[in-house]
Structure 1
Amino acid sequence: MARRRIALSQNFLHDPAAVRLLVRTARIRPGDLIVEPGAGEGAITRALARAAREVVAYELDPRLAAGLPRRTSAHPNVRVRQGDFVRARPPREPFAVVGSIPYARTSDIVRWCLDAPALTSATLVTQREYARKRTGDYGRWTLLTVTTWPRYAWRLGGRIARQSFTPVPRTDSAILRLERRTTPLLPPQRLPAYRDFVAHGFTGTGGSLAATLAQRHGQRRTTAAFRRLDLAPSTPVGFVPPDQWLALFEAVDVPPRDVTPV
């Protein structure tokens, strides 16, 4: 049994206080549809069911999935799905993702959430280091966070001690919250150009972000933008916060003008 749990990267959150913290951070409303990845033994599932209109609980392990209907029998608003969460088709109606996810599947689950058109938020228990890196808590920002910033806010929630899990993992966890912005920080037609701008900036050619951007956008325009933002030209790419990335993009990446045929 223990070997199977390790193979599936299963660490079950059993601490009631930590479960309450997760549900509280998710800001669930009575009419919400919640999708839970990795329901495990159902401790979080039951708490979600008490707060939401409906919970769709995914569990990859057939044995655990078979036991979930019994464990959640007091909550008729729970639907159990045995299978791989990241292969599931997301709901078409607005929904939120809440769960304590397998560490080994974190990147895949986060990417699934970011790609789901109707997702409103994702509140996930992840390794603490992962959550801190993606939310800039080390003073650095990742490519994924900066790229998705116009559409999603990344927030670091509370810390969850490793003793809150069975079996006990090697590291502490934290709550990572992704919130889809009701109004994107850029118009949809500008998002592809912004993503390309960020991808180019993160290549690091030239040794600093200013040097990299100058190669494509010109030294004069780039220098003026950094001066306007009071951003040192020598700043390494990872130390530039997402809001300054947006300001740089709007300053140096001038969109082409519409040409009306005569």
Structure 2
Amino acid sequence: MAALRFAPLQLIGPVLSTPPEQTDGLLGPAAIRDLAQQLELRPTKTLGQNFLHDANTIRRIVRTAELTAEDVVLEVGPGLGSLTLGLLPAAAQVTAVEIDPRLAALLPRTVAGRVPALADRLTVVEADALRIQEVPGRAPTALVANLPYNVAVPVLLHLLELLPTLRRALVLVQAEVAERLAAAPGSPPYGVPSAKAAWYGEVRRAGNVGRRVFWPEPNVDSGLVALDRRPPPPGDRAATFAVIDAAFATRRKGLRAALARWAGGPAAAEARLRAAGIDPTTRGEQLSVADFARLAATEVAE
């Protein structure tokens, strides 16, 4: 289990903040650059650091998340605190998971300097969201995050599995990833991310976000993806995900061939498929997550 380090809400030393550019304390471009300069921070592609600096985009994300005053929000990759400052007035608590120790230490001070009345709603956890195995405090009910592009899908799937109390998620990801996550069976972008995300809930595109609202500006557009939790289909998650992985490993092949290794040979794959009521010549992109779950649970007498 990854070690957790909790950044205190009150730290000795000056508050690193600039006069609010927005009446609600949100960070604008000048404030973002000022905070980064004070930290001598150069955003890295390795950590997927592209910081939001547009207040209207922040407000739009918070509105789209449809939070209630009772929600406990989990934010991954808060960075310099742009989205955090927008989430705090809308929720009972925000738990922010940040891998960069400099940013984890700065965030409480930024919040205390810009919205001091809301500082007690924030908990900062210095940890890798891909490795985290527990979240301190009250169980999160909503995930709202500008996810690092390079690990967006595995982070989302990990947290949905780890935290069954999450009843909704709204994540900002690369536009192509957003398309894949929300794709329906039979559509060209449908694949492993689509099928696995559908295990946890109903997934939909929730809007587009341009490049100019980030610093540094990425070379791709972004998209919002919303997920509303629902009970998973009958079956075992790990077994179902193994079938999904096998079905899309050789995407152009029919399932009889694609699932041969998984099932123990082409004949065994065909028998499993027919027993599950699935045409062996069908390709994986035609199956829903419920179909994959049914196939994983189907047994054939030898």
Q: TM-score, normalised by structure 2?
A: 0.68
Are residue 172 (structure 1) and residue 221 (structure 2) matched?
A: yes
Deviation at 1:168, TM superposition (A): 0.7
Are residue 50 (structure 1) and residue 94 (structure 2) matched?
A: no
Of 92, 107, 114, the residue aligned with 2:153 is 107
* Deviant stretches of 4+, over 6 Å: none
Identity %: 29
Deviation at 1:13, TM superposition (A): 0.8
Amino acid at match of 1:237: G
Following the alignment from structure 2 to structure 1, what is the Cα–Cα distance between the partners of residues 238 and 276? 24
Query: Unaligned 5+ residue runs, structure 1?
Result: 227-232, 258-262
Kept after mapping to 2: 8 A contact 1:31/1:52: yes
Following the alignment from structure 2 to structure 1, what is the Cα–Cα distance between the partners of residues 174 and 250? 27
Matched with 2:80 is 41
Following the alignment from structure 1 to structure 2, what is the Cα–Cα distance between the partners of residues 83 and 220? 42
Following the alignment from structure 1 to structure 2, what is the Cα–Cα distance between the partners of residues 205 and 22? 34
Of 54, 59, 69, the residue aligned with 2:98 is 59
Of 33, 36, 51, the residue aligned with 1:12 is 51
Amino acid at match of 2:146: S
Matched with 2:274 is 221
Following the alignment from structure 2 to structure 1, what is the Cα–Cα distance between the partners of residues 44 and 296? 50
Deviation at 1:124, TM superposition (A): 1.2
Amino acid at match of 1:133: R
Amino acid at match of 1:29: T
Following the alignment from structure 1 to structure 2, what is the Cα–Cα distance between the partners of residues 46 and 99? 12
Kept after mapping to 2: 8 A contact 1:222/1:252: no
Amino acid at match of 1:208: G
Matched with 1:201 is 247
Following the alignment from structure 1 to structure 2, what is the Cα–Cα distance between the partners of residues 41 and 140? 33
Are residue 21 (structure 1) and residue 53 (structure 2) matched?
A: no
Deviation at 1:208, TM superposition (A): 1.6
Amino acid at match of 1:136: A
SS at match of 2:58: helix
SS at match of 1:218: helix
Matched with 1:71 is 110
Distance 1:13 1:197, change over 3 A: same
Kept after mapping to 1: 8 A contact 2:51/2:214: yes
Matched with 2:284 is 237
Following the alignment from structure 1 to structure 2, what is the Cα–Cα distance between the partners of residues 109 and 87? 9
Following the alignment from structure 2 to structure 1, what is the Cα–Cα distance between the partners of residues 181 and 88? 29
Amino acid at match of 2:225: L
Deviation at 1:115, TM superposition (A): 2.3
Matched with 1:230 is none
Matched with 1:150 is 199
SS at match of 2:94: strand
SS at match of 1:40: coil
Deviation at 1:256, TM superposition (A): 7.8
Of 184, 194, 208, the residue aligned with 1:159 is 208
Q: Root-mean-square deviation (CA), in Å?
A: 3.3
Amino acid at match of 1:152: G
Q: TM-score, normalised by structure 1?
A: 0.77
Matched with 2:125 is 81
Distance 1:248 1:142, change over 3 A: closer
Query: Unaligned 5+ residue runs, structure 2?
Result: 1-39, 260-265
SS at match of 1:149: helix
